Every structure is written in C-alpha cells, then in structure tokens.
Structure 1
C-alpha cells in the first residue's frame, strides 16, 4: 500500500479499550431472520477493510453510526505535526476486530449493498470504541447514537481531536471535486484490472493517482460505486 508519509501514532490515541479474546473457532456465519426476512444477527470472524468497514464471513459490513477518516487522510497534532489518522483508524479497527469472533446487529443496508450494523467483540461495542479513542466521528447525518461519546473524546483531546482534522465526509467531497475535473464526464472512479482482479478506486484512496487508465487493458471509469459493483468490480481494501 502506498502511503505518502510515515505513520505517527499520537500517544493520546491509546485510550484504554477492553481486552478482546482471540477466537479459536472455525469461520462460520450465522444468520437469524429479521422482520424483513434479512439476517438480524450476523456472526463470524472479522476481516478489516478500513477504519469503518469490515467483512464478517462473506458479508461486507459498514459500521453504523460512525465515520472514520479515509486511509489517505491526515490530521494534525496539537503542535501542528501531520500524522496519518486514516491509517491509524484502520489499525485500531484491526486491533478490535481482525480475526476476532464478532456478533453484529443488523440495522439496515446502505446504497452500496453493505449491511449497516453495530458489531461487538467479547461484549465490546466496536463502533463506540472507535469513537471513544478519537479515531471515528459520530456520523450524525444518519445517527446520533455516539454523539455523547464523541463529546467525551473531544474534551479529552484524543485521536483526531488533538489538533486540526477534516471530517471524512468533507474530505471525500473535496477529493471527488478535484478528481472529477479531469475525469471523463465527471465519472471519477477508476476501475483497475490487475493480478488481484477487477478493483475500483475512489478519488480519496491513497493509490488512486497511481492507477493509470488504459481502456485497451480492460480498465474503465465509473460514475458511482453502485455502477462499479454492478459491473463486477470490487472496492479497494486497506489490506
């Protein structure tokens, strides 16, 4: 993975998080029917994609009520030093969820077909833990569940709250605006073809600028994530 600058983990992000037990069980996904016929509970071994997205078995889950900095995103310490808050967020989620036995409560499905869920590991609310250590915002556009937790993190000046930081939704909006000025018809998502398969890259991905578009090699532009997914491409992962 291409990262422009070394990761500098701020000492104050190490807020205590309950110790999680590594599961020794084989990969299994359990589904209990919800009122709409969709799984109400999804459980299995977690595999982290980025700071707020993970796979539980074959199910892609977007943690509900939070928004973590993107992998390419940087923040500042109180002294103005730059650190890779997006990389730190993904690392924290790996600490909380990677190869752990998770239980996720389904809240719905987003427009990209990801399950929206609150996930737990050994009784710890992972969504809340990310906000508590200052490595995710309460995603107030969709939920106010973690607003009080964010207020505590702000007061403690941990994680992104120790210095200047751009909300991830603003970061994505700004990166898209820059990318669409040079993309055909404003369709700024790059669909790459490599030995890892067909993968699409959003303008805020850290390796977006390294993808050279060559239509003769099967690469193509997309106007939306939904379009890319329906065409058979999958999103780039932090791993």
Structure 2
C-alpha cells in the first residue's frame, strides 16, 4: 500500500508541475486596452503587475490646476503605444476578479515599466517594488500625472467604495467615452472598427456619424483631425 500511495503521490506531483508550467506559458497576441493597467488578449483579461493607473472615471489636475480625465488619458496612451503590435505577457498571479496578473512586453520593451516611467501609472507598492525607481524618475521629470496633482488610484477607489460605488468590477471596464457634444478636447472625429476589422473614421456631418458609437475596449477612439486619424491608420468613411 505504501508503494501504491507513493506512486500516486509522484503522479500527482508530476501532473501538478506540468499544470503549473502550462499555466505560466506566456500569453501573446493582439491586445485591446480596457484601462491604463488592464489588457485583453484572446479573451484573457490581464492586469499589469506592479503598477496602478488612474481609473477611467478619475479626474486629476494638470500643472495649471485644470481638471482632466487622467484615467482616460492613461488608457489612450497605452493603446497608442501598443497600436497593432503583438504583446507577450508573462503571468505572475491571478487577482480576486479572475484577471491574470502579468508583466507584458512589446518586443523587448516592458509595458508595465513604460506606463510608470511616462507618468501614466504609479508603482503599486502593495504588491511589488519593481517599478519604484521608474516612478521616482517620472516624478523628478514631472511626467504625466506628476506634472500636476492627483489622488493615488487606490485612495480614489477606497473613497468611492466608502460611498457605495464599486470601482473594480469582475469584468474589465471599457474606456468611458464622452458624448459627441462633450468630446474631450473638442476631438469629435470618431474612429470606428467595422465588422470586417477595417478602421474607418467619421467626421461630424457624415452619413453615419450620429449613430456611430465608440467602443474603446475594441481599440476604437476619437481624433482631433482627419490628418491625425489617417496617420494612425484609419481611412475616411464613404458618404455624407
């Protein structure tokens, strides 16, 4: 009986090790951005390890003391950085919302570190000290949120929870988009991705402008000019 138990124990250990190795396989592919520290690759929700970006609805103050949507700005910065590139994420853990916590690379560049060094996120010291140095450099250079004033994202979430508002839903948030009449910075051109994957932009007054809705979780976004849209790879819609 001891030999049988030992054999089963060995088999269990081998299977556990194989399962762990498979679970740690990198997740690679085209990524869509849901907020400044969350990606989706092939339906896998990924939380960037060791960093904390402002929430989509969070407002910060710039150097002049003017309010701006720092959470939305962080998400757009990450989306612009990635573009159409392939992203590879190395899993580290799973969070309480079921998301894979990972370090993500675009080529040889660490996207977690890039977000912190550009001032679009802070080091999440509660879970890691990996990006404390990058945060210090961003603070010194007054990059991103460090150019003005902001509330640490974890404090902002805590205050919202105290008021009965959930800030980290189990499903990842899509980027919040203001209606056309309140488009951020007056950028009213809508960059839409159709069912065939074609990137098309709609200018105010064009045929489908009013009924076009932006889903930034799919990579759709607004532009301030037709030239900006075309540089980013979008083409003009057909009719007016």
Match of 2:237 in 1: none
Find 1:134's aligned residue among 119, 124, 139. Answer: 119
- Give 3-state SS (helix, strand or coil) of 1:40's partner: coil
When the two structures are aligned, how many residues end up with a matched partner?
A: 159
Match of 1:147 in 2: 132
Match of 2:142 in 1: 157
Q: Please give the TM-score of this superposition, normalised by the length of structure 1.
A: 0.62
Match of 2:40 in 1: 55
Alignment of 1:61-76 (within 5 A): 61-76=46-61
Match of 1:237 in 2: 174
CA distance in 1, matches of 2:45, 2:124: 19
1:26-55, CA deviations, whole angstroms, 9 ceiling, x for partnerless residues? xxxxxxx67454133111111111110011
Greater per-residue helix proportion: 2
The two structures, once aligned, show a CA RMSD in angstroms of 1.8
Match of 2:85 in 1: 100
CA distance in 2, matches of 1:101, 1:36: 22
Q: Does 1:111 align with 2:48?
A: no
- Give 3-state SS (helix, strand or coil) of 2:101's partner: strand
Alignment of 1:1-239 (within 5 A): 35=20, 37-178=22-163, 180=164, 188=165, 202-203=166-167, 225=169, 229=170, 234-238=171-175, 239=216
Gaps of 5+ in 1: 1-32, 181-187, 189-201, 205-224
**Bigger radius of gyration, 1 or 2?**
2
Structure 1 runs of 4+ off > 4 angstroms? none
